[in-house]
Amino acid sequence: MSYDFFNKVAVITGGSTGIGFSIAKKLLTAGAKRVYITGRSIDRLEKAVDHLGEKAIAVVSDVASISDLQRLKKEIENYGDRLDIIFANAGIAETNHFEQTTEAQFYKIFDINVKGVFFSIQVLLPLLNDGGAIVLTSSFVAHKGLDHLSLYSASKAAIRSFTRTLANDLKLRKIRVNALSPGFTQTPIMKNGMKLDDAQIHALIEYAETTVPLGFVAQPEDIASTALFLASDEARYVNGAELIVDGGLTQI
């Protein structure tokens, strides 16, 4: 199914690679007027814009920094835009061994994955049109107890909770808030965040073939399609929900 985003304006935090980049690409293909993508690496952002074209605007922004988020808001205002959709997608995935976990590790993950999501929405909310949509990126690990992922899993469980409470907080403005929870997905975060080498990624793919009911690891495009559904008018009666896109791993 294709969705109509003609003349819509969206922000995608963490939009330079992986799922965020795929969301941006699909939005522009579906007619979006402008898509703002954020990230911490100017090189990755510039490469993304080279692929996406002139309707994509890159803004260097760390979601853990309130001042960066305010600068993002100012950039959107300078273009004279209001927003129709916020994809609060930026996040990191890192392992931690419980007994050796440091306070610095704790704050790093929660500052980006929890604080970053909360304040991304708070700062950008004045620009979001009534009747708009917010899509938060959670993860299937919020429902699983996987080894050495206690911090990451808890941070994503917080996102699921935000989905419910924000949907209620914003109901008078008819703003829909939903969560997208990917399963195993082959993105740069496997190497950059989880620090998996090629052999480990291959082993994960083989593991998915036997444990995921659909038998494969998703590509970013598979997840982005669901993100567009949640942001589209086709989902106009979907609110406060979580859509788990994991090939059936947590459901069957």
1 pLDDT exceeds 70? no
**Is 158 a domain residue?**
yes
**Is 78 a domain residue?**
yes
Report the CATH number at residue 106: 3.40.50.720
The pTM for the full model equals: 0.95
The confidence score (pLDDT) of residue 226 equals 97
Range of the domain at 83: 9-183+218-241
**Is 172 a domain residue?**
yes
**Is 247 a domain residue?**
no
DSSP annotation string for the chain: -----TT-EEEETT-SSHHHHHHHHHHHHTT-SEEEEEES-HHHHHHHHHHH-TTEEEEE--TT-HHHHHHHHHHHHHTT--EEEEEE---------GGG--HHHHHHHHIIIIIHHHHHHHHHGGGEEEEEEEEEE--GGGG---TT-HHHHHHHHHHHHHHHHHHHHTGGGT-EEEEEEE-SB-STHHHHTS---HHHHHHHHHHHHHHSTT-SPBPHHHHHHHHHHHHSGGGTT--S-EEEESTTTTT-
**Is 225 a domain residue?**
yes
List the catalytic residues. Answer: 152
Question: In the chain, what percentage of residues exceed pLDDT 70?
Answer: 99
**Is 30 a domain residue?**
yes
Say how many domains are in the chain. Answer: 1
What is the tens place of the pLDDT at every residue in 47-83?
Answer: 999 999 999 999 999 999 999 999 999 999 999 999 9
**Is 93 a domain residue?**
yes
